[in-house]
Amino acid sequence: MAEVSCRKVIKEYDGGVQAVKGIDLDIADHEFVVLVGPSGCGKSTTLRMIAGLEEITSGEIWIAGDVVNDVPPRDRDIAMVFQNYALYPHMSVFDNMAFGLKLRKFPRDEIKRRVDEAARILDLVPLLERKPRALSGGQRQRVAMGRAIVRNPKVFLFDEPLSNLDAKLRVQMRTEIKKVHQTVRTTTIYVTHDQIEAMTLADRVVVMNGGHIEQVGTPQELYHHPATRFVAGFIGSPAMNFLPCRVQDAANGNLAVKVTDSIVLPVPPARADRYAKYKDKSMILGLRPEHLFEYHEQGKPGWTRVDLPVDVVEPMGMETMVHFFVDGVPVCARVDPATHAEPNEMLPLTADLNQMHLMHPETGQVV
């Protein structure tokens, strides 16, 4: 078990393309950290640099207190689970899991003990003699995890391990990965582009974009206090609504944000001081669909009524998504399924402005 650190790590490919632009990251012992971001954001490259499969252009990577820049993958004492499992097709499940131990010249009894133990944890006991081709996607994924577990390495690395599975199996395997981590407590770095996977698995989430780290935090921190517009839009499903607005004085002397002439939202007093310096400036208002819901007569402080023309209604069972257009900008609300909403009719909604975010239109920083 070990802590992992990246210090100003840069990866530049031939031709000067920078995939990773100087990231700093500290991962504590036993921690489960998820790197998340869109395709090409540098998350897989970062993981592969930690694994030693990709050379570092500059910077330092530390594992368990040692700089490992020039240490080959086999001497880094890490284990990795690949997206397409990378099982050896000519070896049985047992041999696949035992391969790393055999190469490290473990005694035969010890190999058998460890493989049996991992097979028990992952429910692979009846499959040990099979070849990978005789296994389903989920089973192969478990074998790939078993191969990582038996080595008892310092760090587990997962490179989008669930993206080849169907939706149902993905949820199931997600739980299993979390369970395995709870059992073995090995430091884990997990790469995914799926923010739900990131939120459900991680102790801390690292949101990456364009080779930079946008924000590092617990899932709750990222959800409630996004640092940038990118994080605010990436975390949460459906994505946060972004509306261009202007901060101005309200009629009662308080602060308000004006979205359109008819939509002027009073800023809750708790936020007034923070937003005061942006008065008369164009900003972006961020409000999650779950903070825009059916109208309640008895509101709470910070709740404001907004009436919007319905465009599309999407009933989901336990909730209904209603889509609108405000000055050509799409807006989504998450309402109670009992709410009556018809296309082209005005729907009264509550905006919970205690949960609003204000962002700088150029820098994207949340203020």
Partner 1 sequence: MASGTSIPIGVMTAGRTGVQRGSMRRFAQRRSTIAFLLCLPLILLIATFVVYPAIYAIYLSMLNKKMTTFVGLGNFAFLLRRHTFQLVIFQSCLFAITSVVLKAIIGFILAHLMHNIPGKNQRIWRGLLLVPWVIPLALSTLTWWWMFDPSYSAFNWVLNRFGIASVPWLGVGWIARFCTITVNVWYGTPFFMIMYLAALKSVPDQLYEAAAIDGANAVQKLFFVTLPMMRNIIAITVLFSLIVTFADFDIVRILTAGGPQDMTHVFATYAFQVGIQSGDIPLGAADSLFMFPILAFAAFFVLRGVTQRTKEIAA
Quick check: helix, strand or coil at residue 197?
A: helix
Asked if 62 and 68 count as a contact pair (C-beta separation under 8 A), the reply is yes
To partner 1, the closest distance from the beta carbon of 43 in angstroms equals: 17
User: 22 to 51, contacts with partner 1 by CB under 8 A?
Assistant: 51
Residue whose CB is less far from partner 1, 99 or 303: 99
- In 39-91, the DSSP E strands lie at 58-63, 66-67, 78-81
Q: Does 147 bind partner 1 (CB under 8 A)?
A: yes
Beta strand pairing status for 329-335 and 320-326?
A: antiparallel
Q: Does 73 bind partner 1 (CB under 8 A)?
A: yes
End-to-end CA distance of the chain: 38
Q: Does 78 bind partner 1 (CB under 8 A)?
A: yes
What's the sign of the alpha-carbon dihedral 213, 219, 225, 230?
positive
One character per residue 159-198, x = contact with partner 1 (rule: CB under 8 A): ----------------------------------------
Q: Does 72 bind partner 1 (CB under 8 A)?
A: yes
Asked if 69 and 54 count as a contact pair (C-beta separation under 8 A), the reply is no
Q: Does 145 bind partner 1 (CB under 8 A)?
A: no
Q: Does 108 bind partner 1 (CB under 8 A)?
A: no
Tokens of 213: 């780290």
Residue whose CB is less far from partner 1, 14 or 109: 14
Quick check: helix, strand or coil at residue 103?
A: helix
Asked if 245 and 283 count as a contact pair (C-beta separation under 8 A), the reply is yes
Helix (H) or strand (E) holding 170: helix 167-184
**Interacting span for partner 1 (CB under 8 A) from 83-91, 284-292, 321-329, 335-343:** 83-91
Residue whose CB is less far from partner 1, 74 or 225: 74
User: 213 to 232, contacts with partner 1 by CB under 8 A?
Assistant: none
Residue whose CB is less far from partner 1, 104 or 108: 104
Residues 188 and 163: their CA atoms lie apart, in Å, by 18
Binding site for partner 1 (CB under 8 A): 51-53, 72-74, 78-80, 82, 84, 86-90, 99-100, 103-104, 131-133, 147, 151
